[in-house]
Structure 1
Amino acid sequence: MNIIKTCLVVTLLLMLSCNSTKKEASKKEDPKSFPLENVLQNNVEKLSKVANALSYPDSLPRNIKSDKTNWGFVGVTDWCSGFWPGTLWYAYEASKNRQIKQEAERFTAPLKSIAYSPADNHDIGFMMYCSYGNGYRLTGNKEYKQTLLAAADTLATLYNPKVGTILSWPSQKHKFKYNTIIDNMMNLELLFWASKNGGNKQLYNIAKSHAEKTMKHIVRKDSAVYHVGSFDEESGEFLRGYTHQGYAHESMWARGQGWGIYGFSVAYRETGEQAFLTTAEKLADHYIKRLPDDKIPFWDFDDPKIPNAPKDASAAAVAACGMFELSQLIDDDLKKKKYFNAAKNYVEILSSAAYLSENTNEALLLHSTGHYPKNSEIDVPIIYADYYYMEALLRYKKLYEKQANALALK
């Protein structure tokens, strides 16, 4: 009888232990355990406070030096000019606060001239789609739409049909000849959008061709990407690849990998071309495989100084947005879950004390790296990190709500 009692007690204890383990696992897996809404609203409050203190709408935040607490500014022609108004548009989307909307409008307006000026770089997409694009999406402002259509036409003037790509840096042809960079994948969305919203249908063909040539020549066989592809301007022949802002030409530059994941996901969404989806998956899988333990990449995955090398929070934020996008394009449930969970993991780590600025300075995120080989913007807050971080938070929120609604309907 004592043996039977003992067995019953052991069995009961095992059952309780299993139930406890299941509850703990369930708690860890529950997205509600991450205070997503609190993080978003805290960011909104901070962005509102900073915006209210800025007097000149044509001076736009770009970075904060390591010995400073306030943003350093650039003019409207800087490639980063669209990220600050874009970040404010995300803050408005998260809060519906009219005052923040007014601030977003105030900082968006000065960029209008970009759409109507001769194109001198590919960054028109970053400048205009992040600012005017988000503004139009959230307000339906007809003036914003016309400005975006003009911006798309201006960007398209850099397209060379002999090469099949958009020239990224006209000013750097002496160094790289006809050049196309991986970042430019992010600017194709403006062209795809315009082709569907009253613009020239040829814009779609330009964007598709650019993505195809980038996939063929800038995506490497090792599943990493070159930063720059160099081409012969007359024959269209691919000459060689450079990783201009990375450790070495054949190294894996973190932010470039993020641009590729995000850019090819969008290219697949807009065209339905399976090769773009396969490429996005390949780049994402390679990124995931090579991440360090804390899941936030060093500025370049192959820097021999690792672990004593600077991190790049901006790369993590871009990759998170790209993988959220990718997770919604795939039919395979296991892959869908893999990319969604990876993205939400990056967002939650960026929201931790290790990376979130809080009261340290005016930015949202710490520890981004801009151009390490040039000794520029190393381990500092950079505005595009904040932009893609806010985008990732909003994507996380929308996808979580979508999942919750789907479960409620079952």
Structure 2
Amino acid sequence: MDWTKAIEDALSKTLKNIDRFGAKFPHVSQNGTYELNDNTDWTNGFWSGMLWLCYEYSQDERYRQAAEATVANFRKRLDNHVVLDHHDIGFLYSLSSKAQWIVTKDEQARKLTLEAADVLLRRWREPGGYIQAWGAKDDPKEAGRIIIDCLLNLPLLYWASEQTDDPSYRYAAIKQAEQTRRYLVRGDDSSYHTFFFNPETGEPIGGATHQGFSNGSTWTRGQAWGVYGFALSYRYTKNPLFLNTSKRVARYFLEHLPEDHVAYWDFNAPAGPDTYRDSSASAIVVAGLVELISHLDAGDPDRSYFEEMLVKSMNSLVERYSTIGEDDAEGLLKHGSYYVHGGLSPDDYMIWGDYFYLEALMRMEKGIHGYWYERESK
């Protein structure tokens, strides 16, 4: 397949957004217009990552200059510790300063990324052996919580361990992946969004949801993080259990899709003509499938199935959900869902959906795979 048209459309919109957004960062949209913030949300790295992808593809200095400006902003955010009491440090700094290091080998960007890894590592909780998802260490409501999203923050720790030869980063990342596999992935290969431990003793308490339909349901974006996240943990560790888990949760996701191969917001939400989709969940899975397939031998019995579903899902995103032909659109993918129960942007653009859609297109067309690991790593 030729994905060039979709990539060129994304580059054009991203270039326009550089002027629209200025020094601010897009989050989610309302009625087709991105809400902007001063680099205070967990999603801000995705805009930086999109700029680096566009620069790598085009070599247009306008993208590079804008990307470097975002990294300078991330330097200030870390120095001032602005809204960093959460585990999404990997989302923020893997796609900004680590991306700059990977693309340009800027030593200051490398230093910033290592400092960010230290911030994330401080969220390690020895009783229970996990990385606390949200809130301060002494927050009684949050001290025992992990969430499946954290799998995409772990590459920051794996990378830091490779860069420094300090095993503590890698140890925490592996243990978090193992705990996620054990407690968040259910026996039928579906997943919880979140799981709680007793923060004093580490004793497991039980699974729940924060953004899904119900505690026993499968929030599709959470399942998507599992597809990509376990594949990345396999890349760094070569633990076959992580590869197998990525395959299991991927197959569950794909087998529960509606006819157009793009997910509803929760697999257990009553499906009907008014049920919200989450194109961002399918974009994450498409990017994750590219990573997963890269680890499967030609003779692997699952490979052809995943390759077929990868193309079907990407075709549907491009043909039914993208804004190709809508020149003034700010986003790349329509019909994403952020937080349905909370009433927050249940049917609009999501900046992470745009990022993973573009990352998958770039990788499928040009082999530009994003910034979760060094280019020479395999």
Is TM more than 0.5 here? yes
Cα distance between partner residues in 2 of 1:342 and 1:101: 34
Matched, 1:72 2:35: yes
Residue identity opposite 1:181 in structure 2: I
| Contact 1:344–1:396 under 8 Å retained in 2 | no
Residue identity opposite 1:192 in structure 2: Y
SS in 2 for 1:64: strand
The alpha carbon displacement at 1:71 in A equals 2.0
| Contact 2:132–2:143 under 8 Å retained in 1 | no
**Aligned counterpart, 2:376:** none
The alpha carbon displacement at 1:190 in A equals 0.4
Matched, 1:86 2:52: no
Matched, 1:206 2:172: yes
SS in 2 for 1:240: strand
Residue identity opposite 1:345 in structure 2: K
Residue identity opposite 2:66 in structure 1: E
- Note closer, same or farther for the CA distance 1:273–1:353 as it changes in structure 2 (3 Å cut): closer
Matched, 1:380 2:344: no
Within a 5 Å distance, the mapping from 1:85-234 to structure 2 comes to: 85-116=48-79, 119-170=84-135, 173-175=139-141, 177-198=143-164, 200-234=166-200
| Contact 1:264–1:279 under 8 Å retained in 2 | yes
Normalising by structure 1, we get a TM-score of: 0.84
Cα distance between partner residues in 1 of 2:9 and 2:217: 37
SS in 2 for 1:163: coil
- Structure 1 unmatched ranges of 5 or more: 1-30, 402-410
1:28-74 residue CA offsets vs partner (Å, 9 max, x unmatched): xxx2xxx411221121121112203333x2x20112212xx432102
Q: Which is worse superposed, 355-364 or 253-262?
A: 355-364
Cα distance between partner residues in 2 of 1:65 and 1:270: 38
Within a 5 Å distance, the mapping from 1:287-366 to structure 2 comes to: 287-331=253-297, 332-356=299-323, 358-359=326-327, 361-366=329-334
Cα distance between partner residues in 2 of 1:228 and 1:291: 22
Within a 5 Å distance, the mapping from 1:249-288 to structure 2 comes to: 249-288=215-254
The alpha carbon displacement at 1:144 in A equals 0.7
Cα distance between partner residues in 2 of 1:169 and 1:314: 22
**Aligned counterpart, 2:7:** 40
Residue identity opposite 1:321 in structure 2: A
| Contact 1:218–1:225 under 8 Å retained in 2 | yes
The alpha carbon displacement at 1:148 in A equals 0.5
Cα distance between partner residues in 1 of 2:165 and 2:72: 21
| Contact 1:136–1:145 under 8 Å retained in 2 | yes
Residue identity opposite 2:338 in structure 1: G
Which of the two has greater helix per residue? 1
Normalising by structure 2, we get a TM-score of: 0.91
Residue identity opposite 2:245 in structure 1: T
Cα distance between partner residues in 2 of 1:219 and 1:342: 22
Cα distance between partner residues in 1 of 2:117 and 2:368: 33
SS in 1 for 2:36: strand
SS in 2 for 1:71: strand
- Note closer, same or farther for the CA distance 1:194–1:264 as it changes in structure 2 (3 Å cut): same
Cα distance between partner residues in 2 of 1:123 and 1:228: 14
Question: Identity of paired residues, percent?
Answer: 31
Matched, 1:395 2:369: no
Residue identity opposite 1:65 in structure 2: Q
The alpha carbon displacement at 1:361 in A equals 2.1
- Note closer, same or farther for the CA distance 1:115–1:195 as it changes in structure 2 (3 Å cut): farther
**Aligned counterpart, 1:18:** none
SS in 2 for 1:82: helix
User: Which of the pair has more CA radius of gyration?
Assistant: 1
Cα distance between partner residues in 1 of 2:70 and 2:368: 31
SS in 2 for 1:61: strand
| Contact 1:82–1:108 under 8 Å retained in 2 | no
Higher relative contact order (CA 8 A, sep 6+): 2
The alpha carbon displacement at 1:360 in A equals 5.5
How many aligned positions are there?
364
1:198-253 residue CA offsets vs partner (Å, 9 max, x unmatched): 26321001100010011111111121111111001122111011111000111111
The alpha carbon displacement at 1:100 in A equals 1.2
The alpha carbon displacement at 1:103 in A equals 1.3
Within a 5 Å distance, the mapping from 1:12-51 to structure 2 comes to: 31=1, 35-51=2-18
Q: Could you say what the CA RMSD is over the residues aligned between the two structures, in angstroms?
A: 1.9
| Contact 2:220–2:267 under 8 Å retained in 1 | yes
Cα distance between partner residues in 2 of 1:379 and 1:229: 27
The alpha carbon displacement at 1:399 in A equals 5.4
The alpha carbon displacement at 1:171 in A equals 5.3
